[in-house]
Structure 1
Amino acid sequence: MFPPQPYSVSIGEDTPIGSTITVVTATDSDRDPDNTRFYYSLKGNTVMNLTVEVSDNGLPPRSSRVSIQIQLYDRDSFIPKFKKDVFKMRDARNTTTVVIDVEDSNDHDPMFTETSYRVEMSESTPVGGLVIQIHAEDEDAGNNGSVFYTLLGNPDKFTIDPINGTITTTQTLDYDLMRTSYKLRVRASDRGTPFSRKSECFVFVTISNMNDNAPMFDESDCEILINIHIPEDTAVGTSVTKVQAFDRDHGFNGKLWFTITDGNSDSCFSIDTENGAVSVVKPLDRERTSSYNLTVSISDLGSPSKTSSARIFISVTDINDNAPYFGQTHYAFRLRENVRVGFVIQQNIWATDHDVGRNANITYSLSSAMGGEKFSINKTTGFIKVIEGLDRESTSEYRLTVTATDGGKIPLSSSALVLIDVTDVNDNPPRFHQSIFRIKVTEDLPVGTVVFRLQSSDPDSPENSVVRYSLTAGVSNRAHAGEPKFNVDPRTGYIRISAGLDYRLKTRYNITARARDSNYRVATCYIEVEVVPVNRNLNAPYFDLPEVKFDVLENAAIGVTVGIATAVDEDITQPENSSGYSIVDGTGLGIFNIDENTGWFTL
């Protein structure tokens, strides 16, 4: 018989085949050896393959050791159905129950639900944001099936919840400054004994680019100012500067578009929309626009677009492209001829130049083909000064050329005409063209006959050269009194016979004539009037030859005799047949003299 208590035994699921699970013992009170031989059998061997071995040494044993051999199956195939396997053993008279409790062993690795995981996340994911949740299962029970997670390689940008497998970020990820993809190695471990079982998988994280960066300049995200200087003769098409900008984003988010949004009032500049090069597209003119303050907008092509701006201050520097110019083409002044030397005309000849700086520094110079030596000009102010005495009678007008020259490297200049009109002062007396005049009149000329005309010249202006004539002496038969035989028209200078002449009373008159201008300047000449008797002088003298030629050395001394002119008078008596000689005309007038009696020519 079996003991009254059932057998209870625990075995591990990894117990090897053939292992002894437990020993059951039965006793028999019979004395007969044949009645004490035991036979054991199993009942209820439906789950495990169990065998029973009986040990018999020929003696009626009091006890037997029963060995149960178990063929091990994978416990997973039956554990869900049975917590315990119960087997019944009996003999002819009795049975006993062996309760076998199959205990779990850590014989399974944790298994991930996928061999690898792939996930795409935005770079704008905040710190602590979810990346992915992974899961592994372990078919073991208890601690053997309890799984926890770890990230291998100590990634500093990610962490994993050891319990639920949630992977989150530990810092902000930047597609443009950091890596764009990550390969995470995840380990799932159980808590089994005597050792933990593990498995691993990879999580591939791809960072998606967001337009989270605005265009920047020189590592700065603030507005910049570019200062440049360019000459105004910069050729059309010349690139004058380049806006250096970049965007940390990639793709269209980082592609930049440049535009000029302000300050290009006369459209002289353009910008390359792709590379930011600023070029001249229309001729510049500093005198029109001396500076430009351009606003350049730089936008990326992301959606929505982000924009930054830069300011470009362009100073257009001067070149000498403008000549000085005068406000007038000509200037006119009047000066009295007696103006003092050193007198400054109080009106400047002013020129302007649209250029600046050295190119606008103007110096003045004076030139004239006639009379320019009489004047000078202040090279800085343009004031004209008299430096020599003026004489209207020699030059009544000066035409001066004033030149204004700028200070450019290649100077430019322009000119203006200055007309200076010299006004007259009565500084010249009248002049007769010779001091002595000799005339002959017949004694029978009637009263009122014009016998001579006084003619004088005055180089002064007409208003200052009005002359009045008078006869002051020698007009009567007596030295100091008597009836005047001649008078003169004070305006015209005609000398007329004012009383009858008589050869027998007086044969010669020496008249003194005067010419006086309005300033009481006087010129004097002498007129020798010879009275010729009537009916006595019947023949005029004449020369044998119509032309007489003499030669004289150019260095001949004054007074040298040149030749003689001889006239013939066919009157018979004296003095009618006597000839008197005088030079009345010709190119030698005033150079040669002739003896009135002999006809000899002298220098």
Structure 2
Amino acid sequence: MGACWGPVLRVLVVQAAWALCGGQVRYSVSEEAEPGTVVGRLAQDVGLEAGEAEARRLRLVSQGRRASVEVSGASGALVVSSRLDREELCGKSAPCVLRLEVLVERPLRVFHIELEVTDINDNAPIFPAGRKNLSMAESSLPGSRFPLEGASDADIGANAQLSYTLSPNENFRIEEENLKSRSKSLFLVLMKSLDRETMAEHRLVLTASDGGRPSLTGTMELVISVLDANDNAPQFNQSVYKVQVLENAPPGTVFFQLTATDKDEGINGEVYYVLSERVSEKLQDLFIIDRKSGEIRTTAALDFEGVQWYDLEIEARDKGTLPLSGHCSVELEVLDVNDNAPEVRVTSLSVPVPEDASVGTVVALLSVSDRDSGANGRVRCSVWPSSPFGLVSAFAGSYSLVLREALDRERVSEYEVEVRAEDGGSPPLRGRLGVRVPVSDVNDNAPAFAQAVYTVLARENNAAGAELARVWARDPDEAGNGRVSYSVWEGGSGVGVVGGVLLSGGVWRPASSYVSVDAESGRVWALQALDYEEVQVLQFEVRAVDAGEPPLCGNATVQVFVLDENDNAPALLPSAGGGAGVGVDAGGASSLEAASGSLWAWAAWGAPAGQVVAKIRAVDADSGYNAWLRYELLEPRGKSPFRVGLYSGEVSTLRALEEADGPRQRLVIVVRDHGEPSRSATATLSVSLLEGAEAALAAAGSGSGRPGLRPLSGVEGGAESSSSSTNVWLVVAICAVSSLFLLAVVLYGASRWVPRAAVLSGPGPTTLVCASEVGSWSYSQRQSRSLCVADGAGKSDLMVFSPNFPPPPPGPAAKETQPDPSALLDTVSATVFLTLFLSSPLLLTQPLGMRYYEPG
């Protein structure tokens, strides 16, 4: 049971340590461990499940120095990959800790690993030389101490704690002394006075042993020469001097001055200063001491980040025959100055960033370091510009560049982000790193037209394939998301639906039968020639669709106004009587006959000037000025007794008709429009001149439906025939008057008995608002309708109105029983006219001056 709970407890301990250490893992391994030695279960310690190490690409991030460890891909364990030498990695620094970065992908995370390399006793103590020569005056007193250079051990801790032993002898012993310095002082102590004559040279073996298990040793041979005479060595007032100097001190700076005294006199008391032979050549190249003054100066620049401490051994020697020397140690501490700017490095970069990326998305992982120490090495980081990105600190020296605001590629497609680092020195130093962050596009913009409504003017009869307009929609997205294609949008069929036109007769045609839109350029082409008389306004919608996924679209309305061309000549309308030929209306005092393509009209002799003989009726299918008609008398010119109204088409007498004008007048009338170029139609009118009674009877005969009378020759009939004819016609007229009067009374009584509502319930005749003779147009304030002149085509540019009669009751019965008000009024008016005309024989000899206009 205990074996089962052991791994569980270890996991809980590791997790607790992970929480306390802020997510860091620390391992320990001995130096010189064999390659393949497992240092720790890294995958498990960083929270990965079994088998996730290789799937999520657990790996070490190189720090510029060989770490000698690696991650096993299959198990995720941290193993030794090559020889670990603590002395090579850390020197004398203790503890020897390697800081590693572990990178895990999917999702991206960084862990900081500390690997402590523990020391083993693999280095024996080493003396600077295998042999040391010493000179001692025979006058040296017992207890005299001679400094020796101790051995060095590359190990640390107990493995580097040295102890010294001297080979057995009577005169000397070894003494160690620690005067609160960084290193122990080793002295050879004279126990018994020397006698050069007895023994001029002493050979001893000095052994150094470290504290390791097992202990390692090193030896040095001491050759001691006994000198005579000069028995006082120079002395310093301190054995150890502690000095500080800034690392930015220029070469040649004097940072300390030594002073030593010698009690001897003369040449044996003259002292000079030299660097000890124990000082390495590297330090001798870096420092120099003045032999006379004892000033110590630098010869090169110092670097705190390289070495923080220097130990200088100084000798003061006299100039005696057998020179003596005094020794001291100068411990030089290099002080840090802020001479290293922070360094910013990109560990990982995930670009481009989609413009719809959520806030908090990690864009890059950054590593920040500063080689200085203390406040000079404390770094603060920021990002510029301050939006839309920000920095999040994960561990000391590790930052994440994250998204703070929503992106819009159409506003900014790429960001140049600058990460700024500033240390705490005085003055502070700064480091910068530029990071380019492109933004990738998503389809978030629909095509937008430059105009909501495009108004186009197009002349009718344009050629098929002619360009009518060009539409353009802008889509700020890029690539396929911004590639726009155009098409005509068919909204359906029916009146009032965008995308087509309703033709005369209720026929609906889609806009696609008239126009086409180029999918790429947006050019609108005409598929067929436009006819103003068929289509005046063509309205449709153009849809612009991008190629995104899903696609977005925008619409614009195109209104094509067709401009009228003068492509229709005036058309003469049929006469009211239904005869063949062109349209002519007979005047009130004349009659008209159209037979075999000729126009016939009757007029009475002596008709006064201004009497309307006939009226020419014509219509033009065009509109505006192209449909504004004028009537001109083409033949005869000059002496014709007739004139034609310029805009009304009425043929009237120019003067009183005389017998000299002949029995018949042939008039050629031309009808022209105002278009450019003008189009025209021609009508020929034959006017027969009759006596007053004959003209009246001819007009009455024409009104009753029988053919009009041809005029008689003015010379063939005599007075007799004329008189008898007059009497006959007079009897006929009296009978007709009596009958018509009786009929008028009956119809009048019937009209009085018919309810007024029934008469007024019909639609009634349409009241025409015509153009005046000067070409101005009148408009009704009532309901607007299209004008239909007799059987001609509809006119959309003239305005008509109808009386405000109440609507008729529904059902076919009402339609059959109600009389036509217009027919009734026409009958009554004709009856009254004939009654008044024929009631007096005197009227037969009077000129007729009444004018008659058709309704409509």
- Give the TM bin, normalised by the shorter chain: 0.3 to 0.5
TM-score (normalised: structure 1): 0.47
Higher helix share: 2
TM-score (normalised: structure 2): 0.35
